[in-house]
Amino acid sequence: MPTSVDVPIVSLPPWTPIAIARRTAAYHYSRIQFPSLTISAESYREHLERALLTYLPKLPKPIDWVEFFDGLYALDWTICCGCVNGLDRAWEVLFNTRTGRSDCLLVDALRARATRLYPRDEDKQENAVAEFWSHLLVPDSVGSRPVLQRYDGQRPLAPWLIRVFQNWHLSKLRVHSPVMTLADDDIAWPIPTQRSTETRWHEFFVMAARKWLAELPESERLILGLRWRYKMSQREVAALLKVHEGTISRQTDKLRDHALEVIGEQLVSDGWTGDDLNTYILTEMGGVLLDDPRLSAEQLQRLLQAKGLRA
């Protein structure tokens, strides 16, 4: 269990009879589904309290235990608790979790994401996944919490881990890619004001971002790809394209501002009323830039060849 210094100072709602009944039902349902995960009822309760203590400060208004259980993914939460408690069977279940439309294993999904993050460095790809596994239970810095102790059970575990993995590495790479910025307080958390509609707004965002990318001139898409996919510095891009470094700096800033303006207007027209719209756009943009085929290595190579250049 984490120490008290790892948990924000907030007040837990009381354990009412209805809340206790919901906790007991979730606990025994999970025990039926995973009989080999020997988690005591007391440990299960302590994990729940730690999760809600972490979850409450991220919400626009407090919730009670019943509302928390309404959003709880009970089986995923049990797997997480088992891993935190060091149960081998829980880790086995986690490793074998299926993810996404391709139904691949979680570890394979992380490797695929590492390939997109580090397209020219196989050693970095392997180390990225191995390093991430090590930090699921061990904090990466003094005063921070291990990854699994940040999981609140309010969303599926495997997609959440993939997102944390990507954001964690994006935070390391952002020094080379100023178009991207991430929140500094806790990269495992999405924008709190939109938590209850996170999936819906992500879908709206992806559609708006892809439309923005499709309308970019090839010259701007090339700069975006070189800066993002190839992780090239402004100086390296300027040298490759044979232009002044200040030109690349101005075009990079122009791309960022244009994305914020166009995508932001689209999300507002779709009904966005929350705060930190620009932060949301810049945080979510990483996944779109990595996944969009217009920024694939093959497409960028084609654009370079059209200019008589080679990466």
pTM: 0.54
Question: Between 89 and 278, whose confidence is greater?
Answer: 89
pLDDT at position 7 over 60: no
Do residues 60 and 192 touch, judged by C-beta distance below 8 A? yes
Q: What confidence tens digit (pLDDT) does each residue in 115-167 have?
A: 877 777 778 888 888 888 888 888 767 777 888 888 988 888 888 888 888 77
DSSP string, 78-144: HHHHHHHTT-HHHHHHHHT-EETTTTEEHHHHHHHHHHHHSTT-HHHHHHHHHHHHHTTTS-SSTT-
pLDDT-derived band at 24, boundaries 50, 70, 90: very high
The residues with which 105 forms a beta bridge, in sequence order, are 98
Tell me the domain boundaries of the chain: 4-175, 192-306
Q: What confidence tens digit (pLDDT) does each residue in 176-223 have?
A: 544 443 333 333 333 333 333 456 677 788 888 888 988 999 989 999
